[in-house]
Amino acid sequence: MIALIVKDIAALKRTLLFTIAICIALAAYGIYQNVIFMIPLICAMIPLILTAIAFGFDTKSKFEQFAFSMPIKRSSYVISKLFFSFVFGLIGSVCMFILLIIQNKLPVEHIVLISILTLVATVFMSAVQLPFMLKYGAEKGRLVMLITYFSIFALSTFLKEKSDFLIKMTEVLNRASMLIICMGITFTGLALIGIAIKSSILIMEKKEY
């Protein structure tokens, strides 16, 4: 799996550096404008782009035909495609935790929940596109990406227009058990990610090269 990850990083070296620069610039703008929820949205969108480009490289070079003629597990190939989403999700999660701690407007328990949700949501958005990419290919799978991008931008607009959203969310959390909410959302997200990964592996196992 490590070799597959290194292969994707090497293939996307220039794109990755450019994307990271854009990500930093947009995150800085979000912090400057006090719209810190731009950070998890950016961290969710960037891996979608990188993963799509990586699939494009694999298709163009016919990497799958070469890779699966060797003892490479198809499950390892699928999981390796979530590397970027995990890394950017982790970065977004840490950034959200630090910024919300600095702002000191929410209880630590709520900040931890938001940080966990950032990581789970980022990985989920990338995982949900994998079955479509693997089944229909990079070209047709881009339709799923467009829908995902639209959803992210719609959510970004909603959060920007509804400035009291965070306050209302906090009030809801105050009326419920933080532990139950955190565990419920986390396990639901992980279950959906697991289903997406399993579906992707089944699709790969049915393919013939």
pLDDT 10s digits, 166-179: 556 656 655 556 66
Tell me the C-alpha distance between 107 and 104, whole Å. 8
* Tokens encoding 80: 């390796």
| Residue-range domain boundaries for the chain | 2-206
pLDDT tens by residue, 19-34: 778 778 877 777 777 7
Instruction: Kindly calculate the radius of gyration of the chain based on its CA atoms and give it in whole angstroms.
Output: 18
Q: How many Cα atoms within 13 Å fall on the side-chain side of residue 25? A: 6
Q: 132, 112, 136, 126: which is closest to 186 by C-alpha? A: 112
- pLDDT tens profile 136-195: 776 666 666 667 666 666 666 665 565 555 556 656 655 556 667 777 778 888 899 999
This prediction has a pTM of: 0.78
